Amino acid sequence: MGIGVSVFLLAVGAIMTFALEAEVSGIDLDVVGIILMIAGALGLLVTVLFLGSSRPFGATRGETVIREERF
């Protein structure tokens, strides 16, 4: 799940929870909205954690360089 999908789920969930006044028999739209917001927040968190750990191509991490010096 990418950042765009996560933000979309957050927005749809917020609209369903806070702005929608419709009544549907058998389904609580507030609960569905909260579930969508939680799924979007978790997706955003996982996406940011995975993107934060990636490195650009060619970047090295923790590499030790040893130089020889002549006396």
Residue 11 CB neighbours (<10 A)? 13
Give me the mean pLDDT over the 12-34 stretch.
Answer: 92
Domain-by-domain residue ranges, the chain? 3-53
The band of 51, judged by pLDDT with boundaries at 50, 70 and 90, is confident
Average pLDDT, the chain: 85
Is residue 1 pLDDT above 80, yes or no? no
The band of 49, judged by pLDDT with boundaries at 50, 70 and 90, is confident
Give the model confidence (pLDDT) of 52-68 as tens digits.
666 655 556 666 777 77
Q: What pTM, to 2 d.p., does this model score?
A: 0.70
DSSP the chain: --HHHHHHHHHHHHIIIII----BTTB-HHHHHHHHHHHHHHHHHHHHHHHHH---TT--SS---------
- The residues pairing with 24 across neighbouring beta strands, listed in sequence order, are 27
